[in-house]
């Protein structure tokens, strides 16, 4: 029997961000391995016209939770959705709900955040700093709380090459940042943002670092741990391989490449692609929750959940395997044949962006206009290129994260716990994982049926023929224009024609002689 699974039995667990990519997998794992847990409280806001109950119903009835229904048939009774909006200072939680949370919660997993790279600083601070501070205040009023697990990111200190399992101070105290957001107007905030984030690439990584400082400063007597995952990708093993439900990280770019929109990305092929499967992150998170509550370390421990130290992959290998998988399992209705490559400098990157991204989009929009349809490709391509420019920072660098605490934790687990809560990425086969990732993007993000593969391949063959015809026509037009303007070209052309004529005459003559 797993000690970790038994630990969560009978517990009341609060998860923020439970409707997110990681939060869903965390909930699923808890229900599947500890079906005798008492309750999981989740803070849920209304979104896209759905009530909190409708959102929870949709999650529990999704494919991700299929196995949970077998081991925990009464899962609906064990999940308690509480309306909350972390944009509000008191989370807009009702008094009754707050009273229940404060009096009953045993473990907190704080996953909620804004993960957008381009959020205005005010919004990122509200969600990634102020909300964390507010949750810590709530935690300090929970008499039964055994552990508070904060999910940060391995990139919170991406301005450093080597990152230890420590909290690095930011130049400006979080409290001063939080206070200034209350009276500065948006224009001033936008102006000072570059100075505040310094050599970090975006407001996301900066506010995650601030959030860690808040955890350190306002932890009081709380029993806290911080987990820093790197680039979280689709599931590796459980509940099944390849599950993913958002466009973040590599997922969106895999779609863009598979649909033929993305043809090049400025990346360093040998740079470490520090991906970490979401189920691996969740297994480590639950192990950390158990270890923090049972062993009560004297200080806040930080756990790096990364793969580069144990089983490194690189972007060249990932890109190669992604393209190889497209050959076997193409996406449907591709705009062009998938054929992407990494460029390693800005000039070639700008050239390919013009030739392979912007020009085809303009040509296609011209065709749409000619056929009386609304042009859309240029707008989509510009947004994709903006997304790519935001992600390029992470594919042109490598980092080293120390993993002493993660390795220590692994050594503390029994063999049964190492099996049930496996976060040992040394066992990960990257080629298999990446192939399953692409298949998962096709099945769970694009909702494409595997039965459509023959038609998708037929479509790609049509695109290939159109591509050849287009290139041939382009060559003939260019050659015709060249001949009209250049005597040299005409001489070459006549030489080729006369050579072909003589060869054919000789060939015909020799074949009649043989008869
Ligand atoms: C040579 C072979 C190539 C084959 C591909 C190989 C894969 C290479 C992978 C490289 C990926 C590297 C990823 C590194 C990320 C590390 C980050 C650190 C990890 C973390 O701690 S948190 C990670 C989570 N955060 C993110 O991933 C970023 C989240 N996204 C954003 O911040 C915003 O989307 C962004 C990037 C600022 C763009 O904002 P905006 O312009 O407003 O666009 P939208 O978000 O509204 O989306 C517009 C449009 O694009 C689609 N979309 C969204 N995200 C992506 C994406 N990552 N890739 C592609 N497309 C994306 C979205 O659906 C929208 O479409 P609509 O139709 O809805 O308009
Ligand atoms: N994805 C990755 O590659 C990595 C993620 N992380 C960290 O892991 C954690 C989870 O990330 P991930 O699951 O990918 O992120 P998602 O964007 O998928 O989920 C974010 C969660 O936060 C919730 N949330 C956001 N704003 C609010 C709000 N105003 N009120 C209530 N809830 C809100 C979202 O709720 P809603 O559904 O209502 O929007 C959602 O449940 C984050 O802390 C992130 O920094 C760390 C490293 C890598």
pLDDT tens per residue across span 394-413: 999 999 999 999 999 999 99
Which of helix, strand or coil describes residue 444? helix
Cα 131 from Cα 148, distance rounded (Å): 14
Query: Which ligand is located closest to the Cα atom of residue 16?
Result: 2
Ligand 1 pocket, residue 386 CB under 6 Å: yes
| % the chain with pLDDT above 90 | 97
Q: What pLDDT band is residue 515 in, cutting at 50, 70 and 90?
A: low
Task: List all residues 6 or more positions away from 292 whose beta carbon is below 8 Å from its beta carbon.
Answer: 146, 147, 149, 223, 224, 225, 301
pLDDT tens per residue across span 202-245: 999 999 999 999 999 999 999 999 999 999 999 999 999 999 99
Pocket test for ligand 2, best of 20, 129, 151 (most atoms within 8 A of CB): 20
Can you tell me which atom of ligand 1 is nearest the CA of 342? 1
Pocket test for ligand 2, best of 24, 111, 390 (most atoms within 8 A of CB): 111
Residue 30's pLDDT is 98
pLDDT tens per residue across span 58-109: 999 999 999 999 999 999 999 999 999 999 989 999 999 999 999 999 999 9
Can you tell me which atom of ligand 2 is nearest the CA of 208? 45
Q: What pLDDT band is residue 1 in, cutting at 50, 70 and 90?
A: confident
Ligand 1 pocket, residue 322 CB under 6 Å: yes
Query: Distance between the two ends of the chain, CA-based, in angstroms?
Result: 87
Cα 368 from Cα 181, distance rounded (Å): 45
Query: Which ligand is located closest to the Cα atom of residue 389?
Result: 1
How much is the mean pLDDT over the chain?
97
Q: Which domains does the chain have, with CATH numbers?
A: 3-239+270-312+397-422 (3.40.50.720), 456-512 (no CATH)
Q: What is the pTM of this model?
A: 0.94
Task: List all residues 6 or more positions away from 436 whose beta carbon is below 8 Å from its beta carbon.
Answer: 234, 236, 241, 242
Residue 512's pLDDT is 81
Ligand 1 pocket, residue 391 CB under 6 Å: yes
Residue the block writes with tokens 């989370």: 91
The DSSP secondary structure of 250-283, one letter per residue, reads: HHHHHHHHHTT---EEE--TTSB--EEEHHHHHH
Name every protein residue with a CB atom under 6 angstroms from any ligand 2 atom. Answer: 17, 19-23, 43, 45, 47, 84-87, 111-115, 127, 151, 153, 208, 229, 231-232, 246, 248-249
Query: Which ligand is located closest to the Cα atom of residue 127?
Result: 2
pLDDT tens per residue across span 282-313: 999 999 999 999 999 999 999 999 999 999 99
- The interface pTM score, or ipTM, of the predicted complex is 0.93
pLDDT tens per residue across span 307-340: 999 999 999 999 999 999 999 999 999 999 999 9
State mean pLDDT over 45-60: 97
Pocket test for ligand 1, best of 111, 249, 339 (most atoms within 8 A of CB): 249
For ligand 1, the distance from its centroid to the CA atom of residue 503, given in whole angstroms, is 57
Pocket test for ligand 1, best of 201, 247, 392 (most atoms within 8 A of CB): 247
- Is the pLDDT assigned to residue 513 strictly greater than 90? no
């Amino acid at each position: 029997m797993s000690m970790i699974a038994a630990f969560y039995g009978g517990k009341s667990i609060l998860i923020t961000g439970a409707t997110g990519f990681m939060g869903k997998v965390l909930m699923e794992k808890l229900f599947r391995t500890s079906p005798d847990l008492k309750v999981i409280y989740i803070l849920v806001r209304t979104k896209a016209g759905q009530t909190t109950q409708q959102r929870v119903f949709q999650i529990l009835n999704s494919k991700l939770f299929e196995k949970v229904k077998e081991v925990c048939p009464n899962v609906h009774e064990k999940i308690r959705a509480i309306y909350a909006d972390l944009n509000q200072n008191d989370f807009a939680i009702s008094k009754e709900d707050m009273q229940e949370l404060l009096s009953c919660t045993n473990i907190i997993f704080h996953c909620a955040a804004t993960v957008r790279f381009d959020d205005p600083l005010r919004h990122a601070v509200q969600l990634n700093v102020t909300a964390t501070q507010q949750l810590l205040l709530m935690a300090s009023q929970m008499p039964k709380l055994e552990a508070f697990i904060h999910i940060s990111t391995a990139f919170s200190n991406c301005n450093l090459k080597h990152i230890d399992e420590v909290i690095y101070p930011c130049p400006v105290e979080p409290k001063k940042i939080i206070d200034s957001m209350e009276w500065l107007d948006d224009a001033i905030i936008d102006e000072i943002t570059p100075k505040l984030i310094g050599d970090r690439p975006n407001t996301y990584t900066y506010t995650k670092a601030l959030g860690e400082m808040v955890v350190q400063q306002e932890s009081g007597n709380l029993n806290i741990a911080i987990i820093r995952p790197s680039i979280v990708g689709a599931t590796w093993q459980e509940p099944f391989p390849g599950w993913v439900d958002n466009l973040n990280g590599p997922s969106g770019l895999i779609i863009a490449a598979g649909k033929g929109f993305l043809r090049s990305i400025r990346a360093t092929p040998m740079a470490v692609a520090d991906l970490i499967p979401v189920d691996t992150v969740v297994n480590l998170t639950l192990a950390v929750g158990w270890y923090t509550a049972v062993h009560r370390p004297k200080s806040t421990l930080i756990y790096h959940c990364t793969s580069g130290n144990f089983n490194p992959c690189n972007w060249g290998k990932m890109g190669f395997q992604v393209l190889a998988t497209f050959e076997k399992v193409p996406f449907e209705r591709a705009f062009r044949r998938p054929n992407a490559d990494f460029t390693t400098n800005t000039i070639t990157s700008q050239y390919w962006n013009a030739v392979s991204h912007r020009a085809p989009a303009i040509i296609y929009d011209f065709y749409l206009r000619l056929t009386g349809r609304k042009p859309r490709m240029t707008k989509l391509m510009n947004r994709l290129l903006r997304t790519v420019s935001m992600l390029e920072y992470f594919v042109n660098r490598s980092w080293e994260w120390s993993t002493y605490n993660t390795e220590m934790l692994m050594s503390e687990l029994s063999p049964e716990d190492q099996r049930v809560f496996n976060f040992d990425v040394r066992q990960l086969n990257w080629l298999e994982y990446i192939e399953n990732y692409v298949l998962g993007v096709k099945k769970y993000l694009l909702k494409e049926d595997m039965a459509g593969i023959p038609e998708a391949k037929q479509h790609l063959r049509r695109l290939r023929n159109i591509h050849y015809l287009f290139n041939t026509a382009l060559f003939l037009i260019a050659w015709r224009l060249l001949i009209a303007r250049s005597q040299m070209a005409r001489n070459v052309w006549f030489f080729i024609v006369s050579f072909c004529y003589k060869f054919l005459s000789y060939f015909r003559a020799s074949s009649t002689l043989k008869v």
